[in-house]
Amino acid sequence: MTRSDERTVSPEQQAREEELVERVVRSFDSCENPRLRQLMTGLVRHLHAYIRDVRLTEEEWDQAIRFLTRCGHITDDKRQEFILLSDVLGASMQTITVNNQAYGDATEATVFGPFFVEGAPEVPLGGDTSGGAVGQPCRVEGTVTDTDGKSLAGARIEVWEADEEGMYDVQYDDDRTAARAHLHTDDEGRYRFWAITPTPYPIPHDGPVGEMLQAAGRSPMRASHLHFMVSHQACRTLVTHIFVRGDELLDSDAVFGVKESLVKDFEQQPVGTATPDGPVVDGTWSKVRFDIVLAPAGA
Ligand code: BEZ
Ligand code: FE
């Protein structure tokens, strides 16, 4: 790729720009924390390279500052526009990818999202996590093992998801807890629970990030998914989702969270199909299997 400054910038101009980069980098020479020095000088080099590469205009710089200011103004203890910005730029997903190194057949991680809540209720094996949230019942089952194939008894599994209307309980007008819970694997590392079949929903798009997506012709929709956080004392905690095979949003997820290994078959069950562990379901339901493999702690 040709950098625009190679086409339009004279040697004298290039020298001025490079001298500035080096001067700013040198301003961190006396920083005593080596990691902070590395982070800041790397940021300066990449930021200046970007400004020089796209030949950023002063008007564009001003617009960017106004955009970031608006991200700050809309952010409060319930709404975090900067995380959303990081998500739609793929920066959250890249940070997760860097920090969850591939290890054997360990299950892949994906974005955490803003809707996890500590202290969700515990359900027994085979219990219902929906808490009355509206949606098609979905039976989820699988195992939790380590990368040597050993069953992990007592692994903690947190699950959370949006209801059929695309709303998480924290977005309801009242304080209800719904479509979130935790449970533990049995002595053979097995788990099973009832949830609701995931459906697509938009990320919050009524703020500056939503405007940016619209201006760029991008959709705010997330592919249908069910969130998992799985932990065991011997293992690296896994934050991930499973996605629904056949969902037309798999290739355009707004936050780049989809990985092929996480796309699962949610098998539709016709009306009248008996459920495995007793509960009576009036209409259709779905079932999915998700076998989870945890990397060792510190992997
Ligand atoms: C979510 O999966 O819940 C989510 C992830 C990133 C941004 C917004 C929502
Ligand atoms: Fe989500």
Query: Which tens digit of pLDDT belongs to each residue from 231-244?
Result: 999 899 999 999 99
Task: Report CA-CA distances (Å) from 120 to 6, 55, 113, 165, 282.
Answer: 56, 49, 16, 21, 27
- Going by DSSP bridges, is the β-strand pair 190-196/137-146 parallel, antiparallel, or unpaired? antiparallel
pLDDT mean over 143-164 = 98
Could you write out the three-class secondary structure of 30-48? CCCCHHHHHHHHHHHHHHH
* Ligand 1 touching residue 158 (CB < 6 A): no
Ligand 1 pocket, residue 88 CB under 6 Å: no
Average pLDDT, the chain: 95
Query: Do the beta carbons of residue 137 and residue 287 sit within 8 Å?
Result: no
> What are the pLDDT digits (tens) for 159-188?
999 999 999 999 898 989 999 999 999 999
Of the listed ranges 45-59, 65-79, 276-290, the one predicted with least confidence? 276-290
Q: Indicate if the pLDDT at residue 61 is higher than 60.
A: yes
Instruction: Grade residue 278 by pLDDT with cuts at 50, 70 and 90.
Output: low
Closest-CA residue, ligand 1 atom 5, reads 113
* Token pair belonging to 76: 């409060």
Distance CA 146, CA 103 (A): 11
Helix (H) or strand (E) holding 86: helix 81-88
209 in contact with ligand 1, CB cutoff 6 A: no
pLDDT band (50, 70, 90) for residue 280: confident
The amino acid present at 146, given as its one-letter code, is: D
Which among 168, 203, 227, 253 is the best mutation to test ligand 1's pocket, defined by most ligand atoms within 8 Å of the CB? Answer: 203
Closest CA to ligand 1's atom 8 = 203
Q: According to the model, what pLDDT value does residue 1 have? A: 44
Average pLDDT over residues 146-167: 97
Whether 126 and 275 have beta carbons less than 8 Å apart is answered as: no
What whole-number distance in Å separates Cα of residue 31 and Cα of residue 54? 30
72 vs 2, higher pLDDT: 72
Per-residue pLDDT averaged across 52-81, rounded?
96
Q: What is the mean pLDDT of residues 29-58?
A: 98
Distance 143 CA to ligand 1 centre (A): 25
Q: Is 222 in the pocket of ligand 1 (CB under 6 A)?
A: yes
The response to whether residue 114 sits with its C-beta less than 6 Å from ligand 1 reads yes
Q: 7 pLDDT band (50/70/90 cuts)?
A: low
Which residues face 157 on adjacent strands? 183, 230
Q: Whose CA is nearest to atom 1 of ligand 1?
A: 113
Residue 276: both structure tokens together: 């495995």
Confidence of residue 214 (pLDDT cuts 50, 70, 90): very high
- Determine whether the shortest distance from the Cβ of 205 to ligand 1 is under 6 A: no
Cβ(143)–Cβ(151) under 8 Å? yes
Q: pLDDT exceeding 70 applies to what percent of the chain?
A: 97
Give the whole-angstrom CA distance, residue 34 versus residue 44: 15
Ligand 1 atom 2 nearest Cα: 113
